[in-house]
Amino acid sequence: MGREIERKFLVHNEVWRHEVTETLVLRQGYLTSDPHCTVRVRVSNVSAWLTIKGTSVDGVTPEFEYPIPKADALAMLSSLAEQPLIEKKRHLIPRDGIVWEVDEFLGHNAGLVIAEIELLSPNQAFPFPSWIDREVTGEQQYYNACLVSRPFSTW
């Protein structure tokens, strides 16, 4: 069974930018954002995926992700996904054996910057970069599925 163990943090300065090794531009939409099961379509400049996530229990979320044809993903985003779409630049920062993903949101969520890491276990220790602010794991308003119905620009 697929699973995700993810932690989310706000970012408090621009120091992280000099550590970026790759940047992806992502557009994503939700076919359903029910709290018990979200179905997301995501498109990057080169690929597309369908992701199904369940409810997180003790920091572990059931997650299933499948590559899909980009043309299908674009059709789903335009005709089936809840609006507005989530648009962001995802900056990858490898550090201490972990890849930090710094999401710089665009569009209706411009101004929001969140750093995420995926861990092997809920209790895995990791060093905090100097640019990390406070943890927002579990604060629903910072989750992409919630940013569709309540964009950062409305806070």
Question: Would you call 143 a catalytic residue per the annotation?
Answer: no
Beta strands in 35-97 (DSSP E): 37-43, 48-54, 61-67, 86-95
| Spatial separation of the C-alpha atoms in residues 146 and 58, rounded to whole Å | 20
Q: What is the mean pLDDT of residues 85-89?
A: 98
Q: Which fold has domain 3-154?
A: Hypothetical Protein Pfu-838710-001 (2.40.320)
Nearest Cα to Cα of residue 16 among 88, 142, 104: 104
Q: Is the pLDDT of residue 51 over 90?
A: yes
Residue 152's alpha-carbon distances to 104, 111, 148, in angstroms, are: 12, 8, 9
Q: In which band, very low, low, confident or very high, does the pLDDT at 33 lie, cut at 50, 70 and 90? A: confident
> For the chain, how far is it from start to end, CA to CA, in angstroms?
36
